[in-house]
Amino acid sequence: MHVVATPSSSGSNELRAPGASDPSPSLADALDAIWRAISESAALEDCWLERIRRGLRATLAYLDQDANCARVLVLEGFVGGATAVACARRVQSALAPVLREAREEIIIGTQVRPSPGLIAELLTLGVLSIVRSRVLRSDGLALAELEPSLMVHVVEPYVGRGAERADRSARPGAVRGQRQARMEMVPIRPHPRTIQALRVIASAPRLSSREVGRAVGIENNSGHVSMLLHRLEQRGLIENASAPQTGRQPHTWFLTPYGARVLEVLASSFSAASVRERDHALPERAPRRSAPGSGVQARGRAAGSVA
C-alpha cells in the first residue's frame, strides 16, 4: 500500500491511498497525541533539522510508552494505508518550508525536483516501514534506539539539505557554508544491481540471501550480497522475514511498502526520461546525395590541378 501525491484543483498536492479510508477515531486520537508531543519537543529548537530530530525522538518515545498505540499505528492503520496518508499529510503541512527547499536538492533516478508531496510521502513511508519492522520482530528493544539510524538513512537524505536551505532563507544575513557534494537521494543510488535486487525480492518474496545474490549475479561467498541487503534493510526498503528466534536459519526477504513505492518512483522516473529522450531526439540527417558524375568531375579537376 502506498500513498500518492496528486495535484488538486487548487494546484497543491493532495495525498491519498488507493482504497484507504480516513483514520479511525482511535488512530486519529493517537496521531493527535503524538503530534502534540512532537510540537512541544520541536519548539525547543531553532534549527529545522534539530526540530525534526526532536520530533522523531518524541514520536519514538511515545510509541515506546504505549505499545498498543504503536501496534495500531504501524500495523493496523499502516496496512490499510490510513496511517501513511494521515502522517504524510501532517508531515507535508508541518515541514512545508523544508520540503520546498529540499526539492531543489533531491534527485530520484532521473527525476530532479520531485514535488513536496512526494518527498513527504517517501519520508513518511521510510520511517513507518522501519518502525513497523521493529514492532513486528518483538525483540524487546526500544523504538527510541532507532532514532540515530532513521536520521542518517531516511530523514537527512530527504530533508537535511532542505533544512539547511530553509534556515538560511529565514536568516538572510547568515553565512553560507561550504557546499558539500550532493547527497545520495531516494535514499539509494539507482544502481542497476540495486534496482535488480529490489525487483527480484518484489517478484518472489521470501527469497534467501543466497537466492537474491544468484539472481543479481553476486557470488554468495564474496560478502557483497550481504552488504547490499544490509544497506537496503537499513534504509527500510526490505525486511527480514525470518523470525528472530530461529538462530542460524538463512535470512529471507520481502519488500516493505516503502521499498515498493521507491521501486515505482524509480521505474516511472526512468520511463519518463526515456520518453523525453525519444520525443526530443533530433531526426537523423540523411546523407547528402551527390549529383551524377560529380565525383568523377571532381577527381578529374583535382588530377588536372596536380598535374
pLDDT digits (tens, 9 = 90+) for 8-45: 333 334 443 444 455 555 777 878 888 888 988 888 88
CA pair distance 129, 149, nearest whole angstrom: 13
Q: How many residues does the chain have?
A: 307
Angle between helices 209-216 and 224-234 (to 10 degrees): 110
Highest mean pLDDT range out of 132-136, 275-279, 296-300, 303-307? 132-136
User: What pLDDT score was predicted for residue 224?
Assistant: 87
Q: Is residue 155 predicted with pLDDT exceeding 80?
A: yes
Q: Is the pLDDT of residue 138 over 80?
A: no
**Greater model confidence, 234 or 72:** 234
Residue that is written with C-alpha cell 516503502 in the block: 258
Confidence class for position 104, pLDDT limits 50, 70, 90: confident
What three-state secondary structure class fits 208? strand
pLDDT at 125 over 60: yes
The predicted-structure confidence for 266-302, as pLDDT tens digits, reads as follows: 877 766 655 655 665 555 555 555 555 555 444 443 3
49 near 156, Cβ under 8 Å? yes
Residue 132 and residue 119: Cα distance in Å, rounded? 20
Percent of the chain with pLDDT over 90: 30
What mean pLDDT do residues 65-93 have?
79
Q: What is the mean pLDDT of the chain?
A: 76
pLDDT for 249? 74
